[in-house]
Amino acid sequence: MIHHPPGPQWRATTVAIEDPGDLAAYLPPSGGHAWLRRGEGMVGIGEVARFEAGTMAEADEWWQEVCSRIEQETELPECCGTGPIAFASFVFDPTHSAQHSVVIVPRLVVGRRKGVTWLTAVGSARDRGAAMPSVHPAPAGTAGARPVGESLGREAWQGIVEAAVDRIARGDLDKVVLARAVTLAAAEKLDPRSLVIRLAERYPSCWTYHVEGLVGASPEMLIRREGGLATSRVLAGTIRRNGGEELDLKLAHALARSSKNLVEHELAVESVAHALEPFCSGMNVPDAPYVLELPNVLHLASDVTAVAHPDVSVLRLAGELHPSAAVCGTPTPVARELIAELEHLDRGRYSGPVGWLDSSGDGEFAIALRCGLIDPVDPDRITLYAGCGIVAESDPAEEFAETEAKLLPMLEALGVPTPRH
């Protein structure tokens, strides 16, 4: 475990600023972190403290200790996300991964939320704020990235789907989520800024993130806590778009009536509601899902809302929700062990919680989907991940095609030519 807290006398100063323009422009070539959606969000620069490895409960305890050491001065006391914040990314399954989780407290944060823009600086007690960081030129796009390896080939991966369907038919479990990985190599060192910019432009309704080399655009909000209101967006049940408006409308109707996808979705919603119930009141669970349209796929989606107990932080809620049926399966312990047995893949931080939290316990954590991890040792390489839920009616070929569709956002961001339906 690596545990670097700030010193005993630190100060976080938040000031209102004029609209800074495109937040992604403040990302430095290295040492930057991002959380963006529809032009809002935050960019973190530099680092004053970090926590590696450990559980989410340990990270929550560490963060509370850090916040107790920081004196806060703010012009925006009512604005969620101001003051000291931390960017965080957690591994899917620490018991079956060589990778580690990370929580990072940035030195500077440039943020925009609901029309309010701010700059937060964290430094020693002698410091009094900081100058606005520099805008960086837009990086050149990645060119020449090519696949150089995968966790399992098509036939082998479809074989593990068949094995999972057999286990489900046998009654061992109801659902399991299986993933695959594809590694690509570029002609030069990958710049995460170009990926962030492309993903944010192409997928504005998703949460675009970059934390410690993990970059992606997730459509699924694991948990948001703001002023006591907790919200979780559940996605389960997917179909690839065709590209034509009329056919996409027919696909949406078919998705909403698909028994296979509705069963998968119901299991995911039930797992979220069950996990939140002890820590919330006034829960609202929709009777039926809606169809969420993304440029590459259609999802069945449900937004579960509740009032979080005052002493329960967003990180505590994320720890209780993860792993949900949407990324693991049902029952969770059985599904997690079957994933470790069949996947032949160290997921690392893919499908784990990724997001940010502030000193009041508010924050946002998405599930790290539609993402890639830049190799920290060989930064011209990136590993992309995609998975799908397997239930009794799953067809291995269709599930493989679904993973191909889910790889598209990152392949497009990397400039890799992709087939058009």
Task: Give Dmax (Cα) for the chain.
Answer: 65
The backbone torsions φ and ψ at residue 4, rounded to the nearest 5 degrees and listed phi first, read -115, 90
Note if 220 is an active site residue: yes
Triad 140, 141, 147: Cα angle to 5°? 140
Terminal CA-CA length for the chain: 46
Instruction: Detail the DSSP E strand segments found in 161-296.
Output: 175-185, 207-211, 214-218, 221-226, 229-240, 280-284, 290-293
* CA dist., res. 104 & res. 143, Å (int): 30
Instruction: Out of 212, 220, 364, 399, pick the active-site residue.
Output: 220
Which amino acid type is present at position 19? D
Triad 207, 211, 217: Cα angle to 5°? 25
Instruction: Out of 58, 78, 175, 404, pick the active-site residue.
Output: 175
CB-based contacts of 157-162 (< 8 A; 24+ apart in sequence): 157/400, 157/403, 158/396, 158/397, 158/399, 158/400, 159/396, 160/342, 160/343, 160/344, 161/390, 161/394, 161/396, 161/399, 161/400, 162/396
**Chain centre distance of CA 326:** 13
Active site residues: 175, 220
